[in-house]
Amino acid sequence: MSRPSVKAGRRTIDIDVGGTFTDLVLTWGDRRISAKAPTTPYDLSVGFLDVLTDGADQLEMSIDELLPQIELVRYSTTVAMNRLIERKGPRLGLLTTEGHEDAILIGRGAQWTDGTRISERRNVAVQNKPAPLITRDMIAGVRERVDSFGAVLRPLDEDDVRRKLRKLVDGGARAIAVSLLWSFAHPEHERRIREIIREEYRSYHVGYLPVVLSHEVVGKVGEYERTMTAILDAYLQGSIKAEMESTWDQLRDHGYRGSFLLTHNTGGSAEIFKTTASRTYNGGPISGLMGSYHIGKALGYRNVIASDVGGTSFDLGMVVDASVRSYEFRPIIDKWMVGISMLQSTTMGAGGGSIAWINELLGGRLEVGPRSAGSYPGPVCYDLGGTEPTTTDADVVLGYISPDGYFNGRMPLNRDKAVEAIELKIAKPLGLGVDEAAALIRRIVEQNMASAIKREVHLRGYHPEDFVLFAFGGGGPTHVAGYGADVPTSVIFPQAPVFSALGSSVMDIMHVYEQSKRILFLNGMTQQFTDDYAAYNAPIEEMVAQARADLTSEGLDPDSAVFTVELDMLYGGQVQVKRVASPLLSINSPEDAQRVYDEFEKEYSEAFSPHVVNKPGGAYIENIIVKATVPTEKLALPVHDLVGKDASAARTGSRNAYWPEQSGRVDTPVFAFDQLRPGNQVDGPALVEAEFTTIVIPPGKSLTIDRHGLGLLQNSDVAGTDAAQPARTAAPTLEGAPA
């Protein structure tokens, strides 16, 4: 089997499976080919083959000719998210320490708020804890006990384990999660339980039981979070394995012999054989965020808001000071807090398929989302049986999307049915005309998106005007003029509809390892740094050794990897933990310790305030994280000479469209995005059509094509001037250190 390497970017395939469409970016030498196909939720491999066939057709090849020449396939998926939403997992059993059987049912103090929107939390009267993935009768406590230092207080009672195991299997368990107290400090008991399960239920038997050990998925403190991560992995493993095996089999059947990498929510990717189910959660949005990081860095943008408007959701992430190293402090997967590291991103139910509906409980107020029509039946205009009006239906009714040009002309839309649905379900109940009702649908969904951007930026302590906004996904260019909030410049890429797959193509191969290690790094009383360097260095050396072994097993050269260390640190007497980048892999002197502390104080001050730095309380390390990164080949950005502002050569015609700013319909010019040249400027109202999306330019806005062929959407009074150019700090190349 051929394996990925640093130079694996010449012939690669990157796939992003969304709720509505499956996107492909095929890198073939100097060419990058984009394709989309409807997602097939009944079997994701069908949509995968459809989009792959489309990409091969553009090279005038069959997939049997194409795949044997491909070096690497990377795959982003939201299968984990969808399976959790649908609650389509096996009946699970949990083995835990006797006396702690109810820990996951009790949860954290505010567990009922986990994974809920602010508007839901306000209505406390109807709030309940989520229905557990494992019911109480399927949780068994085994006789054993280990303390926080890893010392065995009560040996494992193996006969008790066998009795409890049989009870769980007799109760219908089809997968077992094992989470013992302090197991990361003394993993031998969990390992022995797995051996017992294998002795009782052999791997070659038909009733084979998958087993997930908590210390292997999360090797750090936090009983509830560690247990929930193990449970989620056990719950999702079967369904994701089935989905991935189907896709993997299709690749092998058509001649592919390379590696199959999955995107992780830590911002890297790794082979399917080295990936746990929970780490694939939110893979698509993370690919878009990492693409924004790498491409933004190449363009010289240090602060980027990544916004992805798909068919089902609106995904939001931030690049701050040329870094995406912002992690969820207490990450939530669906309704449960977990212990794995996840890059910060926000997802809300707002997209092209979001359903518009009248909320009678709130006095007949129009709302859009979070329910989605998905890909089947999809919006009413798809003419596949949908009856509920959606955002896409509103775009078609208003004239922004061409019914004949949708999905590159391969998916004709039924405008009449969209008009009928909006008139019946929205316009008449609200006493509005159809155009006014469609415009209101757009305004509401865009306001929801804009509020999410403002909330995310302001709550992190930043100002929107200091950022550029990357608008991608099929609906990003169509709606960014409305949701851009106070961000002065929105950047639109030719590959915007497949940007998450494009982001996957520039992501590095990365493994992340974590260990809990409580170290008093700075003594508050003496202001002396620790001199127990082995306590700091030993876990790092252990994780680096594990990383090198894993990379070698994947056929990668560990000497080509970049090893970095991050630390979860806090001051004594405080609860705010800050993850900081250590400037050193090891510390061997007071000067080394000083460098690590200085970086912590700097990042802590920037994140919270210099006024909360509490050196008299001492500084502590809670967790140590090692990243092993194999950089991959990056995207080369073209640089063109600028021509004049006149864009008339790219005009393809006009379309009657409704503009609320002008209180009526206007004969609106239509342009082809691929015919616009660097320096061209299109003033609103106008429509610019690309292969899989339409850029909507309302009155007062202008689209300018920059020297890289990217569209910059700005207010007309500044477009095309020097003031309109966002600050750049680097040359347009995509080489550089990984995140």
Which positions ≥6 away from 387 have C-beta within 8 Å?
380, 421
Q: How many CA atoms lie within 13 A of 399 on its CB side?
A: 22
> What's the pLDDT score for residue 456?
86
CA angle centred on 19, ends 16 and 20, rounded to 5°: 95
Q: 372 with 82: CB under 8 angstroms?
A: no
Range from 373-377, 380-384, 542-546 carrying the lowest mean pLDDT: 373-377
Which among 411, 446, 462, 464 has a CA at the least distance from the CA of 691?
411
**Would you call the peptide bond into 558 cis, given omega within 30 degrees of 0 as the criterion?**
no
Q: 294 with 504: CB under 8 angstroms?
A: no
| Predicted confidence band of residue 245 (pLDDT cuts 50, 70, 90) | confident
Residues in the chain: 739
Write out pLDDT tens, residues 158-184: 999 999 999 999 999 999 999 999 999
Q: Does the pLDDT at position 547 exceed 60?
A: yes
| Predicted confidence band of residue 85 (pLDDT cuts 50, 70, 90) | low
3-state secondary structure (DSSP) of residue 504: helix
> What's the pLDDT score for residue 275?
82
Which among 535, 527, 540 has a CA at the least distance from the CA of 594?
527
What's the mean pLDDT when you consider all of the chain? 87
Write out pLDDT tens, residues 7-43: 444 789 999 887 778 899 998 888 889 898 888 877 7
Record the tokens describing residue 324, joined without a space.
Answer: 């995406």
> What's the pLDDT score for residue 8?
42
Place of tokens 């909360």: 612
> What's the pLDDT score for residue 7?
45
Cα–Cα distance for residue pair 223/214, rounded to 1 Å: 9
> What's the pLDDT score for residue 119?
64
> What's the pLDDT score for residue 3?
39
Q: Are β-strands 259-263 and 269-271 bridged in parallel, bridged antiparallel, or unpaired?
A: antiparallel
Extended beta strands in 264-302, E state: 269-271
Cα–Cα distance for residue pair 491/428, rounded to 1 Å: 38
| Predicted confidence band of residue 357 (pLDDT cuts 50, 70, 90) | very high
Mean pLDDT of 643-668: 94
Which amino acid, residue 532?
D
Q: 218 with 194: CB under 8 angstroms?
A: no
Mean pLDDT of 371-375: 79
Place of tokens 């502590």: 620
Record the tokens describing residue 183, joined without a space.
Answer: 């197991």
> What's the pLDDT score for residue 408?
73
Mean pLDDT of 672-679: 95
> What's the pLDDT score for residue 140?
96
Cα–Cα distance for residue pair 313/285, rounded to 1 Å: 10
Radius of gyration of the chain (CA): 27
Extended beta strands in 545-587, E state: 562-571, 578-582
Mean pLDDT of 664-675: 95
Q: 349 with 369: CB under 8 angstroms?
A: yes
- Give the distance from CA 143 to its chain's centroid: 40
Q: Does the pLDDT at position 193 exceed 90?
A: yes
Write out pLDDT tens, residues 129-158: 788 889 999 999 999 999 988 999 999 999
3-state helix/strand/coil string of 134-170? CCHHHEEEECCEECCCCCEEECCCHHHHHHHHHHHHH
Record the tokens describing residue 331, joined without a space.
Answer: 């990450």
Of 371 and 173, which is predicted with more confidence? Answer: 173
Q: Does the pLDDT at position 734 exceed 50?
A: no
Write out pLDDT tens, residues 106-128: 887 777 777 666 666 777 777 77
Q: How many CA atoms lie within 13 A of 497 on its CB side?
A: 26
> What's the pLDDT score for residue 61?
93
3-state secondary structure (DSSP) of residue 526: coil
> What's the pLDDT score for residue 736?
32
In 10 A of CB 473, how many CB atoms?
A: 34
Q: Does the pLDDT at position 306 exceed 90?
A: yes
> What's the pLDDT score for residue 727?
53
**Against a cut of 0.75, is the pTM above it?**
yes
For residue 302, the 8-state DSSP code is S
Q: 420 with 453: CB under 8 angstroms?
A: no
Q: 331 with 224: CB under 8 angstroms?
A: no
> What's the pLDDT score for residue 80?
65
Q: Are β-strands 304-309 and 269-271 bridged in parallel, bridged antiparallel, or unpaired?
A: unpaired
> What's the pLDDT score for residue 211?
93
Q: Give 172-234 as a DSSP string.
A: T-SEEEEE-TTTTT-THHHHHHHHHHHHHS-TTSTT---EEEHHHH--SS-HHHHHHHHHHHH
> What's the pLDDT score for residue 117?
67
In 10 A of CB 465, how many CB atoms?
A: 12
Of 82 and 244, which is predicted with more confidence? Answer: 244
> What's the pLDDT score for residue 4?
37
- Give the distance from CA 209 to its chain's centroid: 30
Cα–Cα distance for residue pair 686/647, rounded to 1 Å: 12
Of 672 and 6, which is predicted with more confidence? Answer: 672
Q: Of the ranges 167-176, 216-225, 274-283, 510-519, which is most confident?
A: 167-176
Range from 2-16, 131-145, 384-398, 602-616 carrying the lowest mean pLDDT: 2-16
Cα–Cα distance for residue pair 340/327, rounded to 1 Å: 10
Burial of residue 7 (CB within 10 Å: 0-12, 13-18, 19+) is exposed
Q: Does the pLDDT at position 719 exceed 70?
A: no
Range from 55-64, 363-372, 528-537 carrying the lowest mean pLDDT: 363-372
Of 582 and 268, which is predicted with more confidence? Answer: 582
Q: How far apart are the first and last CA of the chain?
A: 29
Percentage of the chain lying above the pLDDT 90 cut: 51
Place of tokens 């090692």: 626
> What's the pLDDT score for residue 6?
37
Cα–Cα distance for residue pair 708/698, rounded to 1 Å: 24
Ordered by where they begin, the domains of the chain are: 11-83+241-278 (3.30.420.40), 87-120+129-235 (no CATH), 283-313+349-507+641-721 (no CATH), 509-630 (3.30.1490)
3-state helix/strand/coil string of 438-476? HHHHHHHHHHHHHHHHHHHHHHCCCCHHHCEEEEECCCH
**Would you call the peptide bond into 370 cis, given omega within 30 degrees of 0 as the criterion?**
yes
Which positions ≥6 away from 212 have C-beta within 8 Å?
175, 176, 177, 178, 230, 231, 233, 234, 237
